Amino acid sequence: MRVVHYQGLDIPNHKDQTRNIGISSIPASSQLVLPLNQHHDTLLIPCVIPGQRVLAGQAIAKPAHRLGASLHAPVSGLVRAIEPCATATSQKNTTPSIVLSNDTLAPSVTHSSTTPHWHSLSSITLCEQLASGGIVGLGGAVFPVATKLAAHTQHPINQLIINGVECEPYISCDDHLMQEHATEILQGTKIMMHACQTSSAIIAIEADKPEAIAAIGNRLHELNDNRIRVQVIPSTYPSGDEGQLIRHLTGQEIPHGKLPAHIGIIVSNVATVYASARWILHGEPLISRIVTVSGNGISKPGNYRVLLGTSMQDVLRHCGAVFKPGQRLIMGGAMMGHALDHTGYPVIKATNSLILADDQELNPVVVEQACIRCGECAEACPVHLLPQQLLSHARHGHKKALQQLGLYDCIECGNCDYVCPSHIRLVTHFRRAKQVT
């Protein structure tokens, strides 16, 4: 293993609260809400109706495209309704959602048939299998993994990168997943290699995760598979961003408007790889995920396996927390996450973390001051944009100028916010501009 050196922001990681706490489970809510838009830019089509009884693991919504990702019932119960609900990622809008009661007396799990001979399948057939298991990117993008892997039919894939960097503050769910499930992660890596037809994979892990590095490294040594290697990344932010990681590991840049597959690379999060192995080898569709619950407002912080659709309020209650005025609730990391106004939202596939923080651990929300043109934001931008100019055009709605300045190249990492002495929430302005540009 070798360490790749590069520059980034050195920010407090706030991982001590959960770094040494293993994965445990949280009971599901009595009623689960499953939004139909929780896959990237996709609205799923229900295949159940109100009043229908379903079993855990049963597909309840399917994509229009065969390489999209299905949605499954996390528990057995009754479909109460299909109605509009708000989600943490679109709080001001509602989306059609399946409301499912939790029948604890019904069979707990219905396993679909496993695919033990996956290596004998064609790559496209294997991709279709992954789609039927509801597997999407669990690092935040929630992009259907089958669609991503099938890109090899148009662009030969030379490198699969498994992202175990997890550079966001507070979050440690991937760290513990690698520590506790190294075997499944390596199995999932092999499955993905076959699906995208590549013979080389790198598992990238940040240097501040020695236990995960050891767990994956030791298991890889036992497997003696020289197609896969572990590479240690220095602990800086935002080293886990897809574009940054590709540049650091391979020296290649993703061209403007292109995807990694266009340069022969596919990147997948370790949790996605793990979920792929659970589905293909054990018939377990993606009905839960590991969520880091942390912050000064949490009395029992940790990494929890949570069924999709579980109310965030129930998650916080299990962790000994009550959302109070003055506290800040964030889904995702402190840098790139979504601030929430209440706890009634359901856990979705994109929920990797819930942070209940106070102003002592996160910068207080303050009134924005005038830009002093210090240039710190441009220095901190990992994709070499000009945030000061983008801000000016975003405020005035100059769509053409925003496109010319590369608004859609912004990865919303929050570096510019972090270093801004005027406390300007640049990323908020950029997100709004993207919605109307």
- The full set of domains in the chain, from first to last, is 118-282 (3.40.50.11540), 376-436 (no CATH)
Indicate whether 109 pLDDT > 70.
Answer: no
Q: Among candidates 70, 260, 280, which has minimal Cα distance to 192?
A: 280
Rounded CA separation 303/26 (Å): 10
Give tens-digit pLDDT for 53-87. Answer: 999 999 999 999 999 999 999 999 999 999 999 88
Indicate whether 116 pLDDT > 90.
Answer: no
Give tens-digit pLDDT for 323-357. Answer: 887 788 999 988 998 889 889 999 999 999 999 98
Rounded CA separation 415/408 (Å): 16
pLDDT at 6: 43
Distances (CA, A) of 30 to 74, 78, 179, 293, 378: 12, 11, 31, 20, 48
pLDDT at 414: 93
Query: Per the structure block, which two tokens stand in for 247?
Result: 């540049």
Stretch 11-33: mean pLDDT, rounded?
92
Give tens-digit pLDDT for 201-237. Answer: 999 999 999 999 999 999 999 998 999 999 999 999 9
Indicate whether 407 pLDDT > 80.
Answer: yes
pLDDT at 106: 65
Q: Band the pLDDT of 115: cuts 50, 70, 90.
A: confident
Q: Band the pLDDT of 200: cuts 50, 70, 90.
A: very high
- Residue type for position 409: D
Rounded CA separation 246/277 (Å): 24
pLDDT at 1: 40
Tell me, yes or no, if the pTM score tops 0.85.
yes
Lookup result for tokens 């499912």? 100
Rounded CA separation 437/432 (Å): 9
